[in-house]
Amino acid sequence: MNQTVIKDLVDEALALNESLYLIELSISVNDKIKVVVDGDNGVPLSECIRISRNIDANLDRESEDFSLEVTTPDIAHPLKVKRQYIKNLNRILKVKTETEEFEGTLSDADEEKIVLQWKAREPKEIGKGKVTVQKTVTIAHTDIIEARVKIVF
């Protein structure tokens, strides 16, 4: 299997709907093709079918035996593409960097960084007791080792 040919077919299918973008493309040793796509407003099943048909129709099953799976990312999997952060604004993220871990509401995201906010209880400067304070951290995409959306029920 030629990954470049398959990537071109995926890109061709995604070009018909600009709200969709590729998260992952993998081809296993036994020619199992897995395409993971996401969208700014979600991905309807009809779009997964359309992408799958575009790939399948342009590959020759007579010359190569393959299986094809077109799917959307699982909520439990980490965010991989910068566009996913924008889609998840105002959701709670768990973000790991090399030195720290943060959990907070994603309040801003762009091409270079993300901004998380959360509330924390800290001791008062004067007197006994604690006070609730708003915390904010800005993290560069290059510093993020892993980021996951926290599932809240």
What's the pLDDT at 9? 94
Q: How confident is the model at residue 126 (pLDDT cuts 50, 70, 90)?
A: confident
Q: With pLDDT > 90 as the criterion, what percentage of the chain qualifies?
A: 80
* 3 state SS of 98: coil
The band of 75, judged by pLDDT with boundaries at 50, 70 and 90, is: confident
Give the closest residue to 57 by CA, choosing from 10, 107, 121. 10
> 71: pLDDT confidence band, cut at 50, 70 and 90?
very high
Please determine, for residue 35, whether its predicted confidence score (pLDDT) is greater than 90.
Answer: yes
Closest CA to 31 of 55, 73, 3: 3
By DSSP bridging, strand 101-109 and strand 32-39 are: unpaired
> Structure pTM?
0.82
Indicate the average pLDDT of the chain.
93
Contacts of 66 (CB under 8 A, 6+ apart): 1, 31, 32, 33, 59
CA neighbor of 35 nearest in space, from 83, 66, 73: 73
